[in-house]
Amino acid sequence: AQSVAQPEDQVNVAEGNPLTVKCTYSVSGNPYLFWYVQYPNRGLQFLLKYITGDNLVKGSYGFEAEFNKSQTSFHLKKPSALVSDSALYFCAVRDGVSGGYNKLIFGAGTRLAVHP
Amino acid sequence: DTAVSQTPKYLVTQMGNDKSIKCEQNLGHDTMYWYKQDSKKFLKIMFSYNNKELIINETVPNRFSPKSPDKAHLNLHINSLELGDSAVYFCASSQTSGGRTDTQYFGPGTRLTVL
């Protein structure tokens, strides 16, 4: 079965510093990977996805993620953190079901706290 | 313009009651989902419908019954509510083309509290 792991419950970073939120995956076949962000009392917002192609994927709000097949990782990164980036971040993998349909399997989430 | 909307945003009710949550998407997608986020923020899929047809049912208790009147709407009805049903329920939608599902877009969530 497909799965993702987010090894850090919380990441703390100072505003202006680079940030990394880690994600590792376990899949059979080609991985389809996603990052979502959840702001307090809000729904999930799509940030970016990796399907195929370049290992560095660029997404919304200046975020990017690096797909590393040998390390089975898909870490989320941003060169310069903002206080407004403070939120809960979810990594997800697409899991195929019969009929060609899919569902998302989510990691446990990582809370990012950016301090002024 | 709201892409995926849910009503109500908050729902507080007593154990044993029956309640419904509604979801609508104006993205023209053909596939819709219900996810449950528990108190530890863990997200898990419950159901998925494609063109009004149930395609995913993740061993959810049969007190939960999804209904899709058309491909733009997916409602969730819950009978005999229990304390453990307290959670945030998210609706999502995506477009399935050629049997491969595109990005899922989520609604704002419905926070259900069972007293």
Q: What's the confidence (pLDDT) of residue B68? A: 93
**What residues does A21 pair with on adjacent strands?**
A76
Q: Which residue has the tokens 């703390």?
A: A12
CA distance A84 to B57: 37
What string of pLDDT tens digits covers the 115 residues of chain B?
669 999 999 999 999 999 999 999 999 999 999 999 999 999 999 999 988 888 888 878 999 999 999 999 999 999 999 999 999 999 999 988 765 667 999 999 999 999 9
Q: What's the confidence (pLDDT) of residue A1? A: 74
Task: Say which DSSP state B114 is in.
Answer: E
Q: Best of A35, A39, A104, A112 to disrupt the B interface by mutation (most B CBs within 10 Å)?
A: A104
Quick one: how far is CA B75 from the chain centroid? 7
Q: What's the confidence (pLDDT) of residue B34? A: 96
Q: What's the confidence (pLDDT) of residue A106? A: 95
Backbone torsions φ then ψ of A83, nearest 5 degrees? -60, -35
Asked if A107 and A12 count as a contact pair (C-beta separation under 8 A), the reply is no
Backbone torsions φ then ψ of B23, nearest 5 degrees? -140, 135
Question: What confidence tier does A96 reach under pLDDT thresholds 50, 70, 90?
Answer: confident
Residue of chain B minimizing CA distance to A34: B103
**What residues does A35 pair with on adjacent strands?**
A48, A91
What range defines the domain where residue A57 resides?
A: 3-115
Q: What's the confidence (pLDDT) of residue A2? A: 83
The full set of domains in chain B, from first to last, is 4-114 (2.60.40.10)
Q: What is the mean pLDDT of chain B?
A: 92
State the pairing for strand pair A64-68/A73-78. Answer: antiparallel
The beta-carbon neighbor of B109 closest among A43, A97, A106 is A43
Cis peptide before B8 (omega within 30 of 0): yes
Contact A42 B101 (CB under 8 A): no
Query: CA angle, corner B115, sides to B67 and B48, nearest 5?
Result: 20
The 10s digit of each residue's pLDDT in A13-72 is: 999 999 999 999 998 888 899 999 999 878 899 999 998 888 999 999 999 999 999 999
Q: What's the confidence (pLDDT) of residue A40? A: 85
State the pairing for strand pair B110-114/B10-13. Answer: parallel
The 10s digit of each residue's pLDDT in B23-52 is: 999 999 999 999 999 999 999 999 999 888
CA distance B115 to A104: 30
> What is the CATH classification number for the domain harbouring A27?
2.60.40.10
Query: What's the total number of domains in chain A?
Result: 1
Cis peptide before B69 (omega within 30 of 0): no
Residue of chain B minimizing CA distance to A46: B105
- Tally of CB atoms within 10 A around A18: 10
